[in-house]
Structure 1
Amino acid sequence: MFDKLFEVQQKAGEVKQRLDALTVTGTAEGGKISVTATGNKIIQSVNIDPEFFKEADKEELEELLVIAINKAMEQADNVSQSEMAAVTKDMFGGMGGMFGK
């Protein structure tokens, strides 16, 4: 049983490392604003097209930044869920008989 717990902890660490290495990008206004984050939801960069920045007002810029950040976070969630599903399937896939399947 402790071996299984250790394996779970080890797999969780591996997933965290993979998610740290993956990047996702959320964009708004046709790519004029982009936010890049890791699969672990750490924002790495924000890029705003200089021409758009000159013309945009504060409220518009703030709204579009929120949109781009939310899109990046949604993609990070999707990547994280996929990684966790793969690990769970690998670990428990062979134990289907244990749960009546």
Structure 2
Amino acid sequence: MFGDLMGKLKETQEKVEATKKRMDTVLIDEKSTDNLLKVTLTANREIKSITIDDALLEDKEQLEDYLILVLNKAITKATNVNEAEVAAVAKDGMPNIPGMDMFK
């Protein structure tokens, strides 16, 4: 029984690692409400592109504010996607042990 459990845990760990790798291909797009700034990053929170409208280049402080707001929103979305995907794989592979409801 213990050997089966260890095998299942190893298989689950491999699936979690594969899911984490797959998150490099899941793209999250976020933009400012006026579409002057657009950001794309992976679900692993790696920035892939930033598009800045010329209008924002005239005001450094405004551009900095836009970058902070849009990047934070994108990072939050990416984190939520990443955590949900990894938790789903981990929960699916966990044995049903009473009192071990870690992924509710």
TM-score normalised by the chain length of structure 2: 0.79
The size of the alignment, in residue pairs, is 96
* Cα RMSD after superposing both structures: 1.9
Q: Relative contact order (alpha carbons < 8 A, sep ≥ 6): 1 or 2 greater?
A: 2
**Which runs of 5 or more residues in structure 2 are unaligned?**
none
Greater shift in the superposed pair: 13-22 or 33-42: 13-22
- Measured against aligned partners, the alpha-carbon deviations of 1:62-81 in whole angstroms (never above 9, x if no partner) come to 01011111011011011012
What amino acid is aligned across from residue 25 of structure 1 in structure 2?
D
**Which runs of 5 or more residues in structure 1 are unaligned?**
none
Question: How high is the sequence identity, in percent, across the aligned residues?
Answer: 36
**Deviating runs (4+, > 4 A) in structure 1?**
none
Aligned-partner Cα distance in 1 for 2:74–2:36: 15
> Are 1:99 and 2:101 counterparts?
no
Aligned-partner Cα distance in 2 for 1:24–1:82: 14
Aligned-partner Cα distance in 2 for 1:28–1:74: 15
